[in-house]
Homo-oligomer: A and B are copies of this chain.
Amino acid sequence: MTHKLSSEVAFLDCIDRHFPNSHAHLIIGRGDDCAVLACPERICLSSDLFLEDIHFREQYFSPEDIGYKALAVSLSDIAASGATPLGFSLDLMIPEGRNPAYWDDFFGGMASLAQKYNVPLAGGDLSKSPILGTSVTIWGAPTRTAGGTPVFLSRTGCSEGDIIFLVGTLGLARTGLYALESIGRNAVDEYPAATGAHLRPVPQLEAGQLLSAYSGITLMDLSDGLARDLPRLLGEKTTASADKPSAKGASINITTDMLHAEQLSYALEKNLDPVLEAFKGGEDYALLGTCPASIFAELSVKLPQIQKLGIVTNNGKIIMNGQPVTEHGFDHFA
């Protein structure tokens, strides 16, 4: 952690109040050039940006929400690997004009999640910046199978006939985002579940760890919406057409009974197709995966919230409710 704030002592004190600097995983914690970490033979690691007006808006994100979600989206990547988070580092971009109470709330929101999953803040960087933003890097330990083999799940490797499943909500966060964008923070009262899904997504860590005990699973987290992420799960070749006939495809079914009442009422009010909206989605932070058809019944017992979306096909197309789908999902960059 390099120090680049004249008020860095105040910042570091605030961080120290919220995040313990000792943990079995931390040999050397915050305050040196590098943290030193006790590691298993393999770790998984992911980094994510969380930037003002790109990934969140201060008009309707409280400082606690921002701190919370900056870490939650990274924990979701650990969930998608079926892993257990070991630690994280935080690079914080600090604009002028926020008072100490703001940062206390920000770190409080982040620390609530760090505490829940017992994941220590190992280090990072603080810098003045024209925009508020974070870069969180997070790493995790593999879940061990009954035989003791360390396993990380990957998004690649599904097979024709595999069942496509979902753990978490589909498109609920999109409804929340749209409601917040049009109504502002007051949308929290009208659409509590949907805005909660956007402001405070719940990383599916326990589900990811449970899934990693099974063979033949592929898994990813649903961050950009089913429409954009499903082709990634199937492999990039699904974007190709007739000249690549061997590419994997999917046949899925999304029905209104799979959607939250708030999605249905919002779609009704705005004259939108709730199923297509759910398909487009975005920032669901649900888990999207595949498994051999033979184990889905057992998974459904162990993980009652798992939903079957469809099956992997071999025709390079995505078919939803019997029709080819061409719509694109949520895209932060477009």
Contacts and interface: CB of A to CB of B under 8 A. Distances in A.
A1 to B, nearest CB: 7
Contacts of A42: 27, 36-39
A105 interface: no
A37 to B, nearest CB: 5
A83 B34 contact: yes
B93 A51 contact: yes
B128 A131 contact: no
Interface residues of A, number: 71
B91 A125 contact: no
A323 interface: no
B39 A35 contact: no
Contacts of A331: 4, 6
A16 B44 CA distance: 20
Interface string A16-51: 000000000001100011111111111111111101
A260 interface: no
Interface stretch (A60-68, A73-81, A299-307, A313-321): A73-81
Q: How many identical subunits does the complex contain?
A: 2
Interface string A290-330: 00000000000000000000000000000000000000000
Interface in A89-114: 89-91, 93
Contact of A81 (B8, B36, B124): B36
Contacts of A284: none
A155 B6 contact: no
A255 interface: no
A5 interface: yes
B49 A44 contact: no
A281 interface: no
A133 B128 CA distance: 12
Contacts of A152: 27-28, 34, 36
B129 A51 contact: yes
A48 B6 contact: no
A2 B224 contact: yes
A182 interface: no
B47 A137 contact: yes
Given A33-B155, A34-B44, A135-B137, 17 more contacts: A3-B228, A4-B332, A6-B333, A28-B152, A32-B154, A33-B77, A33-B219, A36-B44, A36-B45, A36-B154, A37-B42, A37-B43, A45-B137, A49-B91, A49-B127, A54-B127, A91-B91
Interface of A: 1-8, 27-28, 32-49, 51, 53-55, 77-78, 80-81, 83, 89-91, 93, 122-131, 133, 135, 137, 139-140, 152, 154-156, 219-221, 223-224, 228, 232, 331-334
16 contacts: A1-B46, A2-B224, A4-B333, A6-B333, A6-B334, A33-B81, A34-B78, A34-B81, A38-B41, A45-B89, A45-B123, A45-B139, A46-B123, A129-B131, A130-B131, A131-B131
Closest 10 pairs between A and B when the two form their complex, measured CB to CB: A135-B135, A34-B44, A33-B80, A137-B137, A4-B332, A5-B333, A39-B39, A34-B46, A91-B135, A47-B89
